[in-house]
Amino acid sequence: MPSAIRPWFRLLRASFAAQTRYLPAALGGLIANLTFGFLKAAVLFATVRAAGGEVGGYDLATMSSYVWLSQALLGTVNLGADSDLADRVRTGDIAIDFARPLDVQTSYLAVDLGRSFFALGPRAIPLILLGALTTGIAFAPPAGVLLGLVAVALAAVLSFLGRYAVNILGLWLVETRGVRTLYMLVSSFLAGLFVPVPLFPDWLKMLANATPFPSLLQTPIDVLSGKVSGAAALLAVLWQVFWIVVVGAAGQLLTRRGRLKLEVQGG
Amino acid sequence: MSEQVPAIEVDGLTRTFKVRRRGSLLRDVVTAVDDMSFTVQRGESVGYIGANGAGKSTTIKMLIGILVPSNGSARTCGLDPLQQRRRLARRIGVVFGQRSQLWWDLPVRESFAILGEIHRLPKAVARQRTEQLSEQLDMGEYWNTPVRQLSLGQRMRAEIGAALLHSPELLILDEPTIGLDVLSKQRLREFLIAERAEHGTTLLLTTHDMGDIERLCQRVLVVDHGRLAYDGSLPGLAATVDTRRILQIDLAEPTADLTGLGTATHLDSKGDGLRQRLAFDPKRVTVPQVLAEVSARAEVRDLSIEEPGIEEVVRKLYARRVP
């Protein structure tokens, strides 16, 4: 472990370890993901059948892979709108974070990745197994799966950076609930959580592809399942990296600007 | 860093806040810290006191670079707290009594391990310092307990240990003894005295507890309405204001007012003289002396001593200064 990144690695490990305490919560998440998985499968399979066996490039087999992979990744790629950081801004505990000799954004990233990677165990793997045993999952050849795992890790990073950028708005807004709820709705829809992005009408597809959101879910699913392969897969992963740089830089900028107007709340 | 650079240099420091007036779009400007100037030399131990809302925490936030001054400047350990926040964070330790720098879900041990990495302490140094702090602050009994399960006293010891892990040259404690019982306060103070004696750590302490100041601080800064109202020694402060203590005694039977005592002055009586309050000067007489004189006149059932609060001292200080 190069000493330069050791503090971040330590935070990641500690956060991973702390998650073991929340195993019952992870189990609850698993059951919710599973229930909605069957619901999604029922609706989307009906759509494929109604369209004559193929819609937007999906047949029943590829749709099944999409359904179970999208559900499996939900614990790792958080499309929601958690408020950990916004809460710390609101209560003034952010003062503690700024009093540490660490970059705030990247130290929170390490903590979040610990949670994301932990969720692979109790949430992603069981769902993939259950999906494979019920309606089936098709996987890309080994090289594609490997690239898919990279895409999952990048999606986890990007998902954090997006939520961070929304949360850090708390430095300007006292109450971030509205923005966070809006973000959750937009991000989960455009990421392709409810309906795969290729099924969107053309104008919406164009809109979605101009945002970072499809990189969160659609991309790792496509690469893992082999729906996108070869140079196109590589390009999709590079597109994720592009968004990480853009959204990450936005978060850094907001943190720097916000720090100068931070009024730590409460004594 | 050369010995000549002061630990804290504050010059004309001012911070205003805009506060929205109730039921109106107009905003009032509140001056939390008003043209404050002072210097703390390395190795000094300074009590920073004042009533709630006097501007203590605001000053500290500017000293550690988490709040931008509206005017004037602050330099901490010779650094600009805003521009050199992370460098400064490696050289100071901060404890906010109301907030925790430990990881809630993790054992105390793990928080110290993470902090050791964050401060990039060599492994051997981190281990040795951790052992030392764990022993001196008596953290062994709860070393493997998650932070959220600690009592307030235990957590506060861990917080102070965590702030000292990287052996900072300046320790800033914001209300470290708030809510602690007498014994816990005592232990914490003794630890801080020993720590300072060994390492020469500069200490800046805000508190509402006169005992903290008496035991720990050579110098007192009193802030009132954002302005520095007093800068000097504690005896000097006591000399400028009345720091008499109040002794409340419960007597066995109704007794006439205990006036004309040599050691104390009668203040008031309740319940036909069953409970009486006497004021005495702790520099001149001791509690047993007062008690002995009272016992000669009436049988004492119970007693309690009221310490003058910081607010009281500040209020008296101001009452004197305003013509």
Residues B149, B269 within the same domain: no
Last residue of a domain, one of B213, B240, B267: B240
Number of domains in chain A: 1
Nearest chain B alpha carbon to A92 = B99
Tell me if B218 is assigned to some domain. Answer: yes
Tell me if B318 is assigned to some domain. Answer: no
Tell me if A163 is assigned to some domain. Answer: yes
| Interval B293-317: pLDDT, tens | 999 999 999 998 876 666 667 667 7
State percent of chain B over pLDDT 90. 56
> CB–CB of B118 and A7 under 8 A?
yes
**Is the CB of residue A216 less than 8 Å from the CB of residue A77?**
yes
Tell me if B201 is assigned to some domain. Answer: yes
Residues B155, B250 within the same domain: no
Edge-to-edge order in the sheet of strand B202-206: B92-96, B170-174, B202-206, B45-49, B219-224, B227-232
> B149 vs A50, A158, B297, CA distance in Å?
57, 34, 51
State the Cα–Cα distance between residues B201 and B38, nearest whole angstrom.
Answer: 19
Q: Which domain holds residue B268?
A: 245-307
Query: Closest to A98 (Cβ–Cβ): which among B66, B98, B113?
Result: B66
Residues B154, B59 within the same domain: yes
> CB–CB of A7 and B103 under 8 A?
no
The pLDDT score that the predictor gives to residue B6 is 95
Q: What is the dihedral sign for C-alpha A93, A98, A100, A102?
A: positive
The pLDDT score that the predictor gives to residue B7 is 96
The pLDDT score that the predictor gives to residue B229 is 86
| Those residues with Cβ within 8 angstroms of residue B246's Cβ, 6 or more apart along the chain or in another chain | B267, B277, B278, B279, B305, B306
pLDDT greater than 50 at residue B18: yes
The pLDDT score that the predictor gives to residue B309 is 62
Last residue of a domain, one of B224, B240, B256: B240
Tell me if A58 is assigned to some domain. Answer: yes
Q: Could you tell me which residue, A232 or B182, shows the higher pLDDT? A: A232
Q: Could you tell me which residue, B265 or B308, shows the higher pLDDT? A: B265
State the Cα–Cα distance between residues A161 and B27, nearest whole angstrom.
Answer: 35
Residues of A with Cβ-Cβ distance to B175 under 8 angstroms: 267
Give the ranges where A20-124 is alpha helix by DSSP (H): 23-50, 60-73, 84-91, 94-98, 104-119
Tell me if A112 is assigned to some domain. Answer: yes
State the Cα–Cα distance between residues A150 and B275, nearest whole angstrom.
Answer: 77
Last residue of a domain, one of B220, B240, B260: B240
Tell me if A265 is assigned to some domain. Answer: no
State the Cα–Cα distance between residues A32 and A23, nearest whole angstrom.
Answer: 14
- Find the radius of gyration of the CA atoms of chain A: 19
The pLDDT score that the predictor gives to residue A267 is 47
| Residue the block writes with tokens 């069953």 | B274
> CB–CB of A18 and B103 under 8 A?
yes
Q: Distance from B81 to chain A by nearest Cα, in Å? A: 10
The pLDDT score that the predictor gives to residue B310 is 62
pLDDT greater than 70 at residue B234: yes
Residues B233, B255 within the same domain: no
SS3 for B38?
strand
Residues B280, B158 within the same domain: no
Q: Which of A118, A94, A130 is nearest to A15 (CA)?
A: A118
Give the ranges where B74-229 is alpha helix by DSSP (H): 85-89, 108-118, 123-136, 152-164, 182-199, 210-216
Tell me if B148 is assigned to some domain. Answer: yes
Tally of CB atoms within 10 A around B155: 17
Residues of A with Cβ-Cβ distance to B118 under 8 angstroms: 7, 10, 100-102
Q: Please enumerate residues of A whose Cβ is less than 8 A from a Cβ of B.
A: 3, 6-7, 10-11, 14, 17-18, 21, 92-93, 95-96, 98-103, 259-264, 266-267
Residues B168, B303 within the same domain: no
Residues B273, B155 within the same domain: no
Structure tokens at A77: 């790629």
Residues B174, B303 within the same domain: no
Nearest chain B alpha carbon to A102 = B86
| Interval B75-130: pLDDT, tens | 999 999 999 999 999 999 999 888 899 998 899 999 999 999 999 999 999 999 99
Number of domains in chain B: 2
Amino acid at B68: V
Q: Which of B37, B39, B47 is nearest to B208 (CA)?
A: B47
pLDDT (average), residues B204-211: 87
The pLDDT score that the predictor gives to residue A119 is 94
The pLDDT score that the predictor gives to residue B323 is 44
| Residue the block writes with tokens 């949360």 | A167
Q: Which domain holds residue A71?
A: 3-260
- Residue B317 is inside which H or E element, if any? helix B310-321
Residues B52, B181 within the same domain: yes
The pLDDT score that the predictor gives to residue B1 is 47
Q: Distance from A10 to chain B by nearest Cα, in Å? A: 6
> B33 vs A1, A131, A243, B84, CA distance in Å?
46, 62, 43, 22
Q: Distance from B18 to chain A by nearest Cα, in Å? A: 10
**Is the CB of residue B92 less than 8 Å from the CB of residue B171?**
yes
Query: Closest to B118 (Cβ–Cβ): which among A102, A259, A262?
Result: A102
pLDDT greater than 80 at residue B178: yes
Q: Which of A117, A106, A154, A96 is nearest to A251 (CA)?
A: A106
Q: For position B294, which CATH number holds?
A: 3.30.70
Query: Closest to A95 (Cβ–Cβ): which among B96, B106, B113?
Result: B96
The pLDDT score that the predictor gives to residue A150 is 98
Amino acid at B183: L
Tell me if A242 is assigned to some domain. Answer: yes
Give DSSP secondary structure letters for B266-315: EEEEETTTTEEEEEE-TTT--HHHHHHHHHTTS-EEEEEEEPPPHHHHHH
The pLDDT score that the predictor gives to residue A235 is 98
State the Cα–Cα distance between residues B282 and B238, nearest whole angstrom.
Answer: 11
Tell me if B168 is assigned to some domain. Answer: yes
State percent of chain B over pLDDT 70. 92
Residues of B with Cβ-Cβ distance to A267 under 8 angstroms: 57, 98, 174-175
The three-point CA angle A216-A218-A222 to 5° equals 125
pLDDT greater than 80 at residue B60: yes
Residues B52, B163 within the same domain: yes
- Residue B172 is inside which H or E element, if any? strand B170-174
State the Cα–Cα distance between residues B74 and B76, nearest whole angstrom.
Answer: 7
pLDDT greater than 80 at residue B64: yes
> Across-strand partners of B278?
B247, B266
DSSP state of B79: B
The pLDDT score that the predictor gives to residue A100 is 92
The pLDDT score that the predictor gives to residue A263 is 65
Residues of B with Cβ-Cβ distance to A93 under 8 angstroms: 99-100
| Those residues with Cβ within 8 angstroms of residue A220's Cβ, 6 or more apart along the chain or in another chain | A69, A73, A77, A148, A151, A152, A154, A155
Residues of chain A predicted below pLDDT 70: 1, 263-267
Residues B255, B233 within the same domain: no
Q: For position B138, which CATH number holds?
A: 3.40.50.300
Tell me if A267 is assigned to some domain. Answer: no
Residues B129, B172 within the same domain: yes
